[in-house]
Structures are given as structure tokens and as C-alpha cells.
Amino acid sequence: MVTQEPTLFDRLPYEAQRDCAAEIPRLAGQNRRILERLLLGPVSNAELVEMANKYTGRISDVRRMLRRRGYDVEAYEHNRTTGVCWYRIVRWVK
């Protein structure tokens, strides 16, 4: 039996929650809502577009803030048929 190593959001470590949440006061409006949602776990572009029509720009803003704390926003599982892409917070590797 092969066990897969848990991802950041299978169980978000307290330190990651604390570090990422520390950036919330610096953010406003759409950026803040997107970060708060990402802290809950992976989010799809379908959900993000409801928060901000130009969510890719907001993701870039959030990404810049999180990189100072050693984290990044990763796009993964892009379904080319449906156009749905998922985003999550991961440790940033330079």
C-alpha cells in the first residue's frame, strides 16, 4: 500500500495558517476575500470569478504578498475541456 504525502491543504499546518493570515490586514477588497478563501483550501476559477472578474490579477497580488512569507499560489489541475482550474497555497521554492 502506497501512502501519498499530504498536501498543504490536506491539513494546513498552524504555521502556514498564521503566516498567510498575517498578510490579511495588508490586503483590501477582492485581494483580501481571495486570500481568505484560499486559506480554507483549494478554490476553482469558477468560484474566483464570482469574487473578482479579473481574478488572475488579484491572484498575482496575493502571490506577491505570500512570497514574502515563503508561500505561493499554485494553479493546478487545469481541465482543458471545461476550462476549470484549481488554485491552492503551497510553500514557495525559489
The answer to whether residue 9 sits within a structural domain is no
pTM: 0.71
Q: How many domains does the chain have?
A: 1
What pLDDT shows up at residue 9?
Answer: 47
Q: How far apart are CA 87 and CA 45, in angstroms?
A: 8
Tens-digit pLDDT profile for residues 9-25: 455 666 666 666 666 66
pLDDT mean over 44-69? 90
Tens-digit pLDDT profile for residues 31-52: 888 988 998 889 999 999 998 8
The answer to whether residue 3 sits within a structural domain is no
The answer to whether residue 19 sits within a structural domain is yes
Cβ-based neighbours of 22, under 8 Å, separated by 6 or more = 69
Q: Which domain holds residue 22?
A: 14-91
Categorize the per-residue pLDDT at 57 as very low, low, confident or very high, splitting at 50, 70 and 90: very high
Say which CATH number the domain at 31 has.
3.90.1150
